[in-house]
Amino acid sequence: MTPDTTAASDFDCEAALAQLDDYLKRELTPELADRVRAHVEACAPCFRQMRYAERFLSLLRGPGSELRCPDPLRLRIADALRAEGGDH
């Protein structure tokens, strides 16, 4: 497997890779994020894996992100809600 070349972190590659997606999604505690960052910055194979994961996640953010609910649909919904009556 990939060698752990870092002395700066107590994290090995396996531990860092397991947290990579969550790190990129900013879902880790600051402490854990620091440890992942320290490892990745000092480990070339893990750094490449991070770039890989980053590009993958950025690809997923693409499709449809610019879309907004069309106005005709908003109007249709407003009409349907009115027809439904009630006063919430």
Binding of another protein by 74 (CB under 8 A) = yes
Q: Candidates 4-12, 35-43, 47-55: pick the segment binding another protein (CB under 8 A).
A: 47-55
CA gap 17, 50 in Å, rounded: 8
Segment 1 to 20, residues that bind another protein, using CB under 8 A = none
Minimal distance, residue 76 CB to another protein, in Å: 6
Residues engaged in binding another protein (CB under 8 A): 21-22, 25, 27, 48-49, 51-65, 67-71, 73-78, 80-82, 84, 86-88
